[in-house]
Amino acid sequence: MDEYIDILNEEGVPTGKTCLKSEAHKKGFYHASAHIWIFDKDKNVLIQKRAANKDTFPNLWDISVAGHISAGEQPLTSALREVEEEIGMVLLKEQLHFIGTSKKTVQHHANFIDNELHYIYVCEVTFNVNSLKIQKEEVAALKSIHLNNLIEKVTTKDFVPRTDNYYPFVFEHIKNYNNK
């Protein structure tokens, strides 16, 4: 779905301009997305298989939930909205914990340059994969995988490739997460 997003500079600061997501990708404009990693107290992590119709990395396993931040929207608001839209889970803002940002630059092809700043959140919550309602346009499947197994598997061709430090950064936060 095409939507209006804020254009950022290379440091992630809004320029005050907006454009359609498709235009940002075509012209390589920096923009933002929210990444939400959901896991339970036993460190079982919820992951999603991207839908077959996705323009990037179709049918690969990925983050619990991720999505572009709409124009004028705050990252936390976007994160909560994306979780509800993609998997039908309603979270409170207090359940999401911001752990940092990551910058990505990928040229998928000549007319698709993805310059993105990810706002990364973690969330420890009890969940039942079978009770979640997936948004079929975005998500093909959901599953739960223990963090230790996930750490081993993310380097395979079945997972969306990320920058060298992205997965270790997130997994260290999940491993050490303590919601007291």
pLDDT, tens digit, 9 for 90 and up, residues 109-152: 788 888 999 999 999 999 999 999 999 999 999 999 999 999 99
| pLDDT at site 120 | 98
**Mean pLDDT of all residues belonging to the chain:** 95
Bridge partner list, 43:
none
pLDDT mean values, one per 10 residues, the chain (180 residues): 92 95 94 98 98 94 97 97 98 97 85 92 97 97 98 96 92 86
| pLDDT at site 131 | 96
Residue 35 lies in a domain: yes
Residue 83 lies in a domain: yes
Q: Give the domain CATH number at 141.
A: 3.90.79.10
Residue with the two structure tokens 């404009």: 29
- Residue 82 burial (CB count, 10 A): 23
| pLDDT at site 179 | 63
Residue 36 lies in a domain: yes
Residue with the two structure tokens 């095409």: 2
| pLDDT at site 110 | 80
Residue 37 lies in a domain: yes
pTM of the model: 0.95
Residue 180 lies in a domain: no
Q: CA 46, CA 139: separation in Å to the nearest integer? A: 13
Residue span of the structural domain in which 161 resides = 4-175
| pLDDT at site 42 | 97
- Residue 157 burial (CB count, 10 A): 6
| pLDDT at site 105 | 80
* The total number of structural domains that make up the chain: 1
| pLDDT at site 163 | 83
Closest listed residue to residue 117, CA positions, set 9, 23, 17? 9
Residue 105 lies in a domain: yes
How deeply is 51 buried, as exposed, middle or buried, from its count of CB atoms within 10 A (0-12, 13-18, 19+)? Answer: middle
